[in-house]
């Protein structure tokens, strides 16, 4: 098994960035992954005592499909984020700066349906990415499983629909779903596979246009008898991972 690609999502549901290498730390999510999240009018997030809360407290692609078309570039040194979308002008801002957040809210507003809650701000929790699972996890996907879904749908679909962190090549399709409780060494890091990922409707959305144009959930349920794709894993031994790094079950 080899690492085919690595991805992070600095602002939850608001863009993706492909990277060449990353250093994982025991017990933590991928660095810079879902560090920030965008609140809405009904968000229950305690700014005075910030901690992980579930995805329903934030603006997410399953409710706001247009967000799926955002691409991201993060400057780690300055914490500046550049966002681009086919229907909008590019924007660069700092999620920690109140004036910049106001500019971002104006920028993203055209992508948000009026019948849904409007975005109200950006929050973060120290030392914890706002992943969908309460587990501080890194997601692992299998390119062969992706190809199998596409073949059953009889249409090409983009790998980015799955919003995974680590994609592996040279692995039998769906083998990853049998890894629960197993340890896997990827590059210099070791992760323990904890849970399968049940997918939501965001996977039906084209990651270029932000338009729902397929039904991956129907394909999963109809052809495979479940709605899962990929697994969440916990980092149990720190280490670096790069493209084409070797992966092996322990």
pTM of the model: 0.95
What are the tens digits of pLDDT across the range 129-163? 999 999 999 999 999 999 999 999 998 999 999 99
Q: What pLDDT does 13 receive?
A: 96
Q: Which residues of the chain have pLDDT under 70?
A: none
120: nearest Cα among 16, 43, 56, 15: 43
The distance from CA 224 to its chain's CA centroid, rounded to whole angstroms, is 23
Residues of the chain with CATH 2.40.33.20: 133-249
Q: What pLDDT does 40 receive?
A: 95
Q: What pLDDT does 113 receive?
A: 86
Separation of alpha carbons 87 and 209, rounded Å: 8
DSSP string, 102-137: HHHHHHHGGGS-TTSPPEEEEEEBTTB---SSSS--
For the chain, how many residues are written?
250
Is CATH 3.50.50.60 correct for 133-249?
Answer: no
What are the tens digits of pLDDT across the range 159-192? 999 999 999 999 999 999 999 999 999 999 999 9
């Amino acid at each position: 098994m080899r690492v085919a690609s690595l991805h992070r999502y600095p602002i939850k549901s608001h863009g993706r960035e492909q990277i060449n290498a990353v250093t994982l730390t025991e017990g933590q999510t991928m660095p810079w992954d879902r560090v920030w999240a965008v609140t809405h009018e009904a968000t229950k997030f305690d700014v005075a005592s910030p901690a992980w809360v579930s995805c329903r407290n934030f603006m997410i692609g399953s409710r706001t499909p247009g967000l799926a078309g955002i691409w991201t570039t993060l400057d780690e040194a300055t914490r500046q984020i550049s966002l681009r979308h086919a229907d909008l002008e590019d924007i660069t801002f700092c999620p920690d700066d109140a004036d910049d957040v106001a500019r971002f809210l104006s920028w993203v507003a055209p992508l948000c349906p009026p019948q849904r809650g409007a975005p109200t701000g950006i929050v973060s929790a120290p030392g914890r990415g706002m992943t969908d699972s309460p587990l501080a996890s890194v997601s692992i996907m299998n390119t062969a499983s992706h190809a199998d879904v596409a073949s059953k749908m009889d249409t090409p679909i983009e790998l980015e629909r799955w919003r995974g962190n680590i994609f592996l090549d040279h692995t039998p399709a769906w083998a990853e779903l049998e890894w629960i409780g197993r340890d896997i060494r990827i590059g210099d890091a070791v992760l323990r596979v904890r849970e399968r990922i049940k997918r939501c409707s965001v996977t039906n959305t084209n990651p270029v246009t932000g338009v729902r144009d397929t039904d991956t959930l129907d394909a999963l349920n109809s052809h495979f008898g479940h709605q899962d794709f990929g697994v969440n894993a916990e980092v149990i031994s720190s280490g670096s991972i790069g493209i084409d790094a070797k992966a092996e079950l322990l």
